[in-house]
Amino acid sequence: MFTLESSLLRLEVNPEVGASVAAFEARLGGEWVAVMRPTPRPLPGRSSPYSSFTLAPYSNRIRGARFRFAGREYRLQPNTPEGNAQHGDVRNRPWQAEKPGPGTLVCSFESGRFEDVNWPWAFTLLKTYRLEGNTFDTVLELTNASDEPMPAGFGLHPYFVWRLPGSRDVELQFGAQGYYRTGESLIPDGPMGAVPAELDFSRSRALGGQKVNGVYGGWDGRAVLEWPGSGVRMRLEADPVFAHLVVFTAPDGTLAVEPVTNATDGFNLMAQGVEGHGVVVLGPGESLRGRVRLRLEGP
């Protein structure tokens, strides 16, 4: 376990399980308070219960665990009961990690170290965590380590607490150009359409009992979480490569707000000629890089 700490923020990371975040806390009223959901202790060996984990070399679901690219069909091992591939293949594996200086942790993953990686192309992923004052940065850099073009994407899957001490329910605000309609599979059937009124967060509002699990496109890279009554606000700022945002009201009573590059099932959407899928094709040795920043504003 690695711990980073600034004057206002504290982060715990477990490199043995996807270099996932085990705790993210803020100093409020002289005490450390969880802003992301706390991970159960002892730490589990799978990333799903963690505070946040990383999605790569693609985010969210691939329908039927198969897609076409450059005239060929590729089949993955399904990892959901429905037979889909979900959330990439780095989040449950051990990473290398080193702490080069105060407030910084650099974690690295090489697919070539594992014989059973569920992806047809070799790749590497570099993840840098950095705390400074009231800001928490995560930088991802995905590199195609194969000798042929590779479709790619990545994202982060943080779970934020519903309430802070003394607060009312969390409120969410962000802007997006569209929303992908899905059925029970939670996988889009086509291009994004207009954002439904009941799923519009262009103005800050509480979710109440509303259940949300969907992906927005044309995201402007900005979101705000606010806990009324606490005086605490968290601003999320992402580089333009993160053109999609997944919002998920989790069964455990937390709120996932996930900056991702590609739409759910973006690889099949790309094969169908749907625009705005967000998948990036990397040539041999090329990299995809992006930063997500969380900035705490509080009393």
Mean pLDDT, the chain cut into blocks of 10 residues (299 residues total): 96 98 96 97 96 97 96 96 95 96 95 96 98 98 98 98 96 97 86 96 95 96 97 97 97 97 96 95 98 93
pLDDT of the residue at 185: 83
Tell me the pairing of strands 20-28 and 9-14: antiparallel
Residue whose C-alpha is closest to residue 27's, from 294, 253, 232, 255: 232
20 CB-near residues (< 8 Å, 6+ apart): 13, 14, 47, 50, 51, 52, 53, 54, 91
Indicate the DSSP class of residue 88. B
Neighbours of 33 (CB within 10 A): 16
Three-state DSSP class for residue 267 = helix
CA distances from 287 to 124, 145, 152 (A): 9, 9, 10
Predicted TM-score (pTM) of the model is 0.96
Contacts of 30 (CB under 8 A, 6+ apart): none
Tell me which DSSP letter residue 36 carries: B
Q: Which two tokens stand for residue 220?
A: 């402007």
Three-state DSSP class for 196?
coil
Contacts of 113 (CB under 8 A, 6+ apart): none
Could you tell me whether strands 61-62 and 123-132 are parallel, antiparallel, or unpaired per DSSP bridges?
A: unpaired
Q: What is the CA radius of gyration of the chain?
A: 18
Return the pLDDT at 298.
84
- Partners of 143 in the β-ladder: 124, 287
DSSP H or E segment with residue 68:
strand 66-69
- DSSP character for 29? T
Domain residue ranges of the chain, discontinuous segments joined by +: 2-297
pLDDT of residue 56: 98
25 neighbors 35 (Cβ within 8 angstroms): yes
Q: How would you class 211 by CB atoms within 10 Å of its CB: exposed for 0-12, middle for 13-18, buried for 19 or more?
A: exposed
Helix (H, G, I), strand (E, B) or coil at 63: helix
Domain 2-297 has CATH 1.20.120.1200: no
Nearest-angstrom CA–CA distance, 267 and 120? 13
Q: Tokens 């984990």: give the residue.
A: 53
Under DSSP, is residue 291 helix (H, G, I), strand (E, B) or coil? strand
Rounded Cα–Cα distance for residues 297 and 275 (Å): 37
